[in-house]
Structure 1
Amino acid sequence: MRVQSLVALLALGVVTAALPGCGSSDPARPSAAPVADTGSPAGPTVTPTAGPSARTGLGAAQPSASPFRAGNPSGGAAVPAEARAVDTSRPTRTVGTGTAASCTSEAVVRAVAAGGIITFDCGPTPVTIRMKATAKVVNSHGPRIVLDGGGKVTLSGGGKRRILYLNTCDQAQGWTTSHCQNQDHPQLTVQNLTFAEGDSTGDRTEGGGGGAIFVRGGRFKVVNSRFVDNRCDRTGPDLGGAALRVLSQYENKPVYVVNSTFTGGLCANGAATSSIGVSWTVLNSVFRDNRAVGTGANPARAGTAGGGSGGAIYCDGNEFTVRIAGTIIEGNRASEGGGAIFFVSNNRTGTLRIEDSTLRRNPSQGFETNGFPGIFFLGARPPTLVAATLR
């Protein structure tokens, strides 16, 4: 670890005396990936009940009867207009023709490639669509792509593949500007959906990660959705995001995560969400029982493959902000640092603010910042806590 990093760690009172460095978190090293809409915090338990049970079938939807519940119902954080669900009363296209059998993987892939506002008509009961291929956004289609499952649709990767992909810098999906790392489109929104058993293991494109959804570029928003038992590679110093991996958002505008739940994620780092140089606003959501299982931190200690930080949330890069409000983060675990949150701003400009939220029982098995249980933090100043409980 470089001298200046050690001084910063000691100033924050880090628990472990000999902490590993943070890879791209070393101010003298570049980030591992390019950096460049849109209560009571201890509320009742929200347990996802639909989705991963329907593991059979060859791409057609399978019935999956259960109520849809997402997020923290006791979260009282105000939701700004640009973070709210998109009106899908006049869809551009619909997946399905009224039956479960008509809701197929192929239909989802075609709809996402075509873009626009996409809804589902799969019959009266909840269904699970097991994806036979990753649905990929075509960058010239849109500029807005919205997937709305109406609270009755689960998209499952079947433990075999990533579910959804957007990358403005992927030539295969088309370049639409000369500055793919900083453009305002496509704008991808997922709402009222469950993403289950997505798995990007072995796919190291753009650094890997994003078991359920990978996004680079444009804008990205998640509303009233669930992420259940998603996976990405178990090793890697800066690889992460069992549910979400996000890079290069337009003008560093935030990713909104609203009224959503992340459970059972497993990855080297960021077992729910992971990003580099990306700002986040997380409102009225739940992160529970996610695990960062890598070993060796970042950069990887000698003899290790690296990883193990950010049991729920992993954020790295330079100038970015994270705001968490009305949210419960509990029962997550990191084999290295930040059982709940790993936050490293390389140039010490980033800020973390936690409001009206509860973080509890998020063990960091290697290191964390003294006085902030479950958090490892390097930034402009210590995390700001407003009516927040950490224990």
Structure 2
Amino acid sequence: MTDPSTRSSSRSTRSRRPGIRLAIGATAGSLAFAALSGVTTTSATAAPSAPAERTSGPSAAATTQVGTSLQLRRAVRKANARAGQDRIVLRRDIDLGPGQGQGNGPMRGDLDITDDLVIVGNGNTLNVRGVDRAFDVRPDTRLVLQRLNISNAAAASGESGGAIRSQGQLVVRGSTISRSVVRGEGSSGGAIFNDGGTAQIINSRLVDNRAARAGGAVEALGGTTVIRGTTMRGNATGFAPGNGGAVHLTGEGEVRVLGSTVTGNGAGAEGGGLWNSAEGTFLVDRTTVTGNTAQGAAADQGGGGIFNDGGSLTVTRSTVEGNEATGAAGSGGGILNDGGELDLRTTTVAGNSAPRAGGGVEADGGTTALRSVTLEGNATGDAPGNGGGLHLTGAGTVLVLGSTVVANEAGSEGGGLWNSADGEFLVSNTEVRGNFARGAAADNGGGGIFNDGGDLTVQGSQVVNNAASGAAGSGGGLFNNLGNAEVTDTAFRGNVATRAGGAVEANVGSTTIRDSVLDQNATGPNPGNGGGVHLTGAGEVTVAGTQVTGNTASAEGGGLWNSATGTFTVTDSTITGNTAEGAAADQGGGGLYNDGGTLTVTGSTVDGNRATGAAGSGGGLLNNLGTLVVTDTVVSGNDAPRAGGGIETNVGTVTLTGVDLTDNTTGANPGNGGGFHTTGAGVVLYTGGSVTGNDAAAQGGGLWNSSTGSMTVTGVTIEDNTAPIGADLYHQPPANGLFLVDGQPVPPTTP
């Protein structure tokens, strides 16, 4: 995003008052205005000539029926001269000629309205033929248009309000305004310009209108604008700056779009459909915003459907679907909140796309809240391609509450949701399901959620069937990259990552998972570690009160995997039915794998896990060159082909206190240490607990110590273990190491 300190000049082009003069051109269907008709018109926008003298005192409303341009002009002149509201009824279609006489007023150019007037079109068309705009409503004046079709209006170059300019009260009901334009620098509001007054557009159609600056259909400069039950289709802006394909608000005003349809509109830069100012209040309710396009090339441009430039934007009970930010680094295919307050409620944001980030929603700072929102099928490109559903840039706050984030896709990171390094991001009572992140690097991925160094909280949620599908993509469900992630009361099920962290990948940072479920998650083969959770680098991971069940790693750590420099703590958790498929002797760790760091397991159950590779070891736990501390834990029913059915340590240091090793087994390759196996010069201190009912296919059904290992066992019940050699204990000859049981040395075991 652009540094805020550099934004003043560009922001001024976004929201300054519509200007005057200088013509541009465009075809009827082009955002570029490359070939706009060069009709020369005369506009009644200078100081108005004095109206005809009014009769004294109020008079009864008059109704006049007209069928020609001259009759219409005369009727408007008389209505202006007569106090009170008048009524004009069109009997047929009328082509509004240029008028006659000198100066301004209703007899020349547009129809100046200086007294309250109702015009009933009866479905007839006022074809302005490029003469001027149709109506110019002066302050303290009310114009009501009913069932009137206005087409081909064109304000003078540099002026705003192609069909209507109103400084008073405007009501457009059951009417259509089409193919009207404003041309020239600063001109806005291809159909309607509400110049600080009040405008109501009800049950109407605004179609194929064009504006050079902003507001392809409607420009509001302050004031209050209400659009109800109206279709805005095929309207567009140019590129200077080119904001608000259908509706644009400048300054401190209020816009409400209610029960309407905003479809197929386009903006040269921002807000293909709707655009809200920094001081504006904008409500979209029960409205469909679909198929709109914003072409802005910068990272803080886009908002294919809606753009909020720092104001207050509320979208409720609506659908934002199939919109696009198409610029090189355009963001926010559906909605872009640029530093403002965005409140999305009971709304569907679906099938939108952006090249850079935020396929559905982009938040650039500010506060963004999603309540009961569906983010579905949104996507980013590859530049860089983050946050398929929602992306936060900078120091903002995002709340995703009671929502559904489903089937979104990111070219790199955060298929569903993406949090920035300075962001605060809360996901609560939300389902994050079936999202994809396609990034190929080891620090890409986060199929469901990606946290890029900020503060992420996930609570009471479901993170299901997401995938990090790139060549080395990690964190199928969640990727915490250098940040702080707090996960509570959340289920991760069926997530997949190519490299590591089927459910959760932590790259350094601090990751806490409490009272949660990690179930049936998996890694691919590259290298395939940490089916449930994987830690990379010198980070900290805490897993507490959590069920880690049925996860699979293609190499190491079917359930949990700790790095060489990591600190990993597991408390009061159940690690059961997980599988590690690595074939090498230093691979496995069906339940947990410690790759040289510090792994602490307390008050837990490690049950029914398997190392299934040809020489896989450590069915329950494998400590590879690290420090393993296990306390008050049951390790039972685990299995490994090679060694250490319950626990394998390859060198390293192991401290077991109050640990029960029960009913663990090894296969026949070679099949040593049914309960516990030491490889190399490992150091083991085992105090309290029991070693019972374990079985080894070859040696040491209970405990197996290498010739160079050091194992000290005190106060442990060792019985009912089975093996062809050394049913309970096996000490590999030549016994250069130390093996003591209750202070007594265990001699080398002989066949």
- 1:272 equivalent to 2:471? Answer no
Computed over aligned residues only, the root mean square deviation of the Cα atoms, in angstroms, reads: 3.3
Give ranges in structure 2 of 5+ residues lacking alignment.
Answer: 1-289, 292-304, 306-318, 322-339, 353-357, 381-387, 609-751
For 1:317 and 1:375, the matched residues in 2 are separated by 17
- 1:246 equivalent to 2:480? Answer yes
Aligned sequence identity (%): 21
**Could you tell me which residue of structure 2 aligns to residue 129 of structure 1?**
376
**Could you tell me which residue of structure 1 aligns to residue 537 of structure 2?**
317
What TM-score, normalized by structure 1, do the two folds share? 0.58
Query: What code does the residue aligned with 1:95 have?
Result: L
CA contact (8 A) 2:480 2:506 kept: yes
Q: Mark the CA change 1:262 to 1:377 in structure 2 (over 3 Å): closer, same or farther.
A: same
Aligned-partner SS, 1:257: strand
Question: Which residue among 354, 374, 378 is the counterpart of 2:570?
Answer: 354
Alpha-carbon offset, residue 372 of structure 1: 6.3
Query: What code does the residue aligned with 1:321 have?
Result: E
Aligned-partner SS, 1:221: strand
Alpha-carbon offset, residue 223 of structure 1: 1.1
Question: Which residue among 367, 378, 382 is the counterpart of 1:116?
Answer: 367
Deviations 1:160-209 (A, max 9, x none): 761222343xxxxxxxxxxxxxxxx21222111111111112x2367321
For 1:206 and 1:370, the matched residues in 2 are separated by 20
For 1:384 and 1:371, the matched residues in 2 are separated by 18
For 1:167 and 1:154, the matched residues in 2 are separated by 21
Query: What code does the residue aligned with 2:370 have?
Result: T
Q: Report which structure shows greater RCO (CA 8 Å, sep ≥6).
A: 1
CA contact (8 A) 2:547 2:574 kept: yes
**Could you tell me which residue of structure 2 aligns to residue 45 of structure 1?**
none
CA contact (8 A) 2:575 2:591 kept: yes
Aligned-partner SS, 2:581: coil
For 2:587 and 2:442, the matched residues in 1 are separated by 33
Query: What code does the residue aligned with 1:357 have?
Result: S
- 1:94 equivalent to 2:343? Answer yes
**Could you tell me which residue of structure 1 aligns to residue 602 of structure 2?**
385
For 1:108 and 1:93, the matched residues in 2 are separated by 16
- 1:227 equivalent to 2:474? Answer no
**Could you tell me which residue of structure 2 aligns to residue 23 of structure 1?**
none
- 1:281 equivalent to 2:512? Answer yes
Q: Mark the CA change 1:288 to 1:116 in structure 2 (over 3 Å): closer, same or farther.
A: same
Alpha-carbon offset, residue 132 of structure 1: 3.9
Question: Which residue among 432, 437, 456 is the counterpart of 1:195?
Answer: 432
Within a 5 Å distance, the mapping from 1:1-391 to structure 2 comes to 60=319, 92-96=341-345, 98=346, 103-104=349-350, 109-110=360-361, 112-113=363-364, 115-121=366-372, 129-133=376-380, 134=388, 135-140=390-395, 142=396, 144-148=397-401, 150=402, 153-158=403-408, 162-168=415-421, 185-201=422-438, 203-204=439-440, 207-233=443-469, 235-236=471-472, 239-249=473-483, 254-268=484-498, 269-294=500-525, 306-318=526-538, 320-346=539-565, 350-366=566-582, 373-391=590-608
Query: What code does the residue aligned with 2:405 have?
Result: L
Bigger proportion of residues as strand: 2
CA contact (8 A) 1:234 1:266 kept: no
Give ranges in structure 1 of 5+ residues lacking alignment.
Answer: 1-56, 63-90, 169-184, 295-305
**Could you tell me which residue of structure 1 aligns to residue 650 of structure 2?**
none
Q: Mark the CA change 1:369 to 1:223 in structure 2 (over 3 Å): closer, same or farther.
A: farther
Q: Mark the CA change 1:197 to 1:333 in structure 2 (over 3 Å): closer, same or farther.
A: same
Q: Which has the larger radius of gyration?
A: 2
CA contact (8 A) 1:115 1:138 kept: no
What TM-score, normalized by structure 2, do the two folds share? 0.31
Aligned-partner SS, 1:307: coil
Q: Mark the CA change 1:235 to 1:362 in structure 2 (over 3 Å): closer, same or farther.
A: farther
Alpha-carbon offset, residue 370 of structure 1: 10
CA contact (8 A) 2:372 2:404 kept: no
Alpha-carbon offset, residue 330 of structure 1: 0.5
CA contact (8 A) 1:278 1:315 kept: no
Deviations 1:141-160 (A, max 9, x none): x2x32221x2xx21113567
CA contact (8 A) 1:103 1:121 kept: no
Bigger proportion of residues as helix: 1
